Each structure stands twice: as structure tokens, then as C-alpha cells.
Amino acid sequence: GAAELGPYRHYMQKEIFEQPRVIGDTLDGVTGIMPELFGDGAYNVFKQIDRVLILACGTSYYSGLTAKYWIESVAKIPVNVEIASEYRYRDSVPHPNTLVVTISQSGETADTLAALKHARSLGMEHTLTICNVATSAMVRECKLAYITRAGVEVGVASTKAFTTQLAALFLLTLALAQVNGRLSDEEETTHLKAMRHLPVAISSVLALEPLIIAWAEDFARKENALFLGRGMHYPIALEGALKLKEISYIHAEAYPAGELKHGPLALVTEEMPVVTVAPNDALIEKLKSNMQEVRARGGQLYVFADVDSRITPGEGVHVIRLPEHYGLLSPILHVVSLQLLAYHAAVARGTDVDKPRNLAKSVTVE
């Protein structure tokens, strides 16, 4: 009811603003990196595996895609990420030394549970879940688990569950790296410090809300949008487009920016807003030339840049700067700005934000 919502208009907005706290809760008690964070016997499992298979649906699938970038780059273990409803029905090549990771807010998604059972039926017994509900079927079915502490998520469009999944997946990355001999004590300390600073860093992104509202009012008048990202921010662009579709009903697509020239550039006109996730990382110069390609066709750029990305606003180039550059954890900050953009676009269009048409919070039938 209204009392629970406090100063917020919708549960989704409340849940977006809860992220600093629930990420803190999810990391509470983590004083060091060790496999046992994921359960008894995790060390032996992590020692035996030489690849990772991530299975999930919806927003949880995008946290898995982000984790692929982290795990391959930090732990140097190959990762496949599959949409659960596809994996369960396709012929794949099983490998016994696989860590099967399911990601689920509810722990009850029928396709993800079935994909897990399918993996097991193929002889893959090393199972781990990142899940928000400790008593769920998913947690019961997996040997290892990390329970995110997002609390109850009411909004159908997932927000705080996603960022807490990312926090847990980063811990998993570090634990796998450690077992693989790729995490020095010094690196462990640096990463833990960055993780502990996340609540403060996210709060500073939330403080950008008034600037984002101004953009959302432009968006509310559009019927299409493109989202661009590169590297580990490509899954964040996908998640931003999904959020916008789900609650504002604006058609949105995400592309890795280097792929623009292979198709979506044909859609770009003065009418096309192009949201660009532009952290100051190794790909920033490449991304800037992708942005030029959009501007040359009249596309309107809405850029979420880091404080030091050196992107200047101008004709058709709108820029909001995130206060910090956050290295490997940057996706967790950038997605918050995209959640706010989708939320305020939906509010401006007057949709039923917490219960978008045709969608359910948890899909327990196929």
C-alpha cells in the first residue's frame, strides 16, 4: 500500500532506490574471497571444473552475459551463457567438468528449472545457483548456492534483483579466479574494497534522477529506440532496452556498437534516439567513432558517459556523466541510469509501471 511506498510513486522506483542497501546486504559478511561463500564443498567443485555454463531467462540472462565477460577476463575460464528455454530443447555437447550456474530471482522459473534438469540428465552434476529466494525449488535442486539479498521484488520489471545478481556473480568470478591461481591477495583486497564502495557509488548515480527525467520526457514521445554498448556493457545495453520495452512499450533494440554498420544504421534518422553506454574503458575511442556514424545520419545520441570519458555535448549529442569510473564493476553503475530512464519514460507515458500488460513476475509454466 501507499505506506510501504513511502516517498515513491511505484514499487519499481522504490526498488531502484533500494539498490545501495540491498547490494550492501548481499555483500554483508563477505570479509574475504573463498569458494565456501557458495556452500560446503565448493572448493572441490571449483577445482574440478574447467568451464562454466550459465542458464537463465529474461533479466537474469543478462546478468549471466555480463558474468561471461568477468569470468573469462579475470578467472580465465571459458563461459557459455544460454537462454534456458532454448538450451533445454537443443542438442548440445555436454562436458562433465562443467560448472552449471542457474541465475534466477524467483528460483521458480519453469524454463530455468527444466534447463537445469536437462543439464543434469546429460551428466553435469556440478550445479550452482545465484538466487534471491532461499526456499525456492532452484536452491533445493542445486548443490551450491549464493542467496542474493534483494528482498521481495514487487515490480514485474526486475531491477534490484539484477544488480544483486551481478554483485554475487562478481564474487563468483573472484572465487573461481582464486581457485585457478589468478587472484593475488593484493587483487583480492582491491576488488573487495571496490565492492564495498558500491552502495555509495550507486547512490551517486541515483542522484542523477532529475537529469534523467528530462531525457525521459523526450523519450516518451518516441516509438523506437536503439541502445548501444560495447564489451561488458553490451549486456547492460540489452537490459536497458528490455526495461524500456517492458514498461514503456517503446520498441527498443540493443546492439554492440561495432555491429551498427551491419544493419541497424539503416534505421537511424532524426527520429531515432540512440542511448549509448559510454564508460571510459579500452573501447571508448571505438565507441566514439560508432557515435559519429549515428550523428552523420541525424540520430539523436543520449550518452551515459563516465566523468572522464571526454565526450562533449553538442548538436544532437546529449550527455549525462556518471560521477565515477568504476572499472570491472562499472556495469552495475551504468544499468542503474538505464533503469531510471525506462522508469521515467513509462511514467511520462502513463503506463501501469509495476504491472505491465501481458507480463508476469515469475513464469512458473512453460
Binding site residues, ligand G6P, CB under 6 A: 57-60, 104-106, 109, 112, 156-158, 359, 361-363
Q: Name the active-site residue from 143, 222, 245, 361.
A: 361
* Cell matching residue 122: 546429460
CB of 156 to ligand G6P, least distance (A): 5
Q: At what angle do helices 19-27 and 160-179 cross, to 10 degrees?
A: 30
CB of 366 to ligand G6P, least distance (A): 13
CB of 39 to ligand G6P, least distance (A): 20
Compare residues 59 and 290 and give the one whose CB is closer to ligand G6P: 59
CB of 157 to ligand G6P, least distance (A): 6
Compare residues 200 and 359 and give the one whose CB is closer to ligand G6P: 359
Helix (H, G, I), strand (E, B) or coil at 240: helix
Cα 132-138-140 angle, rounded to 5 deg:
110
Helix, strand, coil % (nearest 5) of the chain? 50, 15, 35
Task: Count Cβ atoms below 10 Å from residue 264 Cβ, excluding itself.
Answer: 18
Compare residues 207 and 359 and give the one whose CB is closer to ligand G6P: 359
CB of 110 to ligand G6P, least distance (A): 9
Q: In whole angstroms, what is the distance from residue 75 CA to residue 73 CA?
A: 6
Compare residues 34 and 154 and give the one whose CB is closer to ligand G6P: 154
With CB atoms as reference, the residue minimizing the distance to ligand G6P is 58
CB 158 within 8 A of CB 61: no
Compare residues 99 and 156 and give the one whose CB is closer to ligand G6P: 156
DSSP single-letter state for residue 117: H
Compare residues 222 and 361 and give the one whose CB is closer to ligand G6P: 361
Q: Name which of 227, 212, 233, 334 is nearest 272 in CA terms.
A: 227
CB of 173 to ligand G6P, least distance (A): 19
Beta bridge partners of 228: 255, 276
E strand segments, the chain: 51-56, 79-83, 98-104, 127-131, 144-147, 224-229, 251-256, 273-278, 300-306, 317-322
Residue bearing cell 541525424: 298
Residue bearing cell 533479466: 59
CB of 163 to ligand G6P, least distance (A): 13
> Residue 151 is which amino acid?
G
Compute CA distances 359 → 10, 165, 246, 268, 348, whole Å: 17, 21, 8, 29, 20
E strand segments, 181-323: 224-229, 251-256, 273-278, 300-306, 317-322
Compare residues 312 and 358 and give the one whose CB is closer to ligand G6P: 358
Residue 361 designated active-site: yes
Q: In whole angstroms, what is the distance from residue 129 CA to residue 116 CA?
A: 10
Catalytic site positions: 361
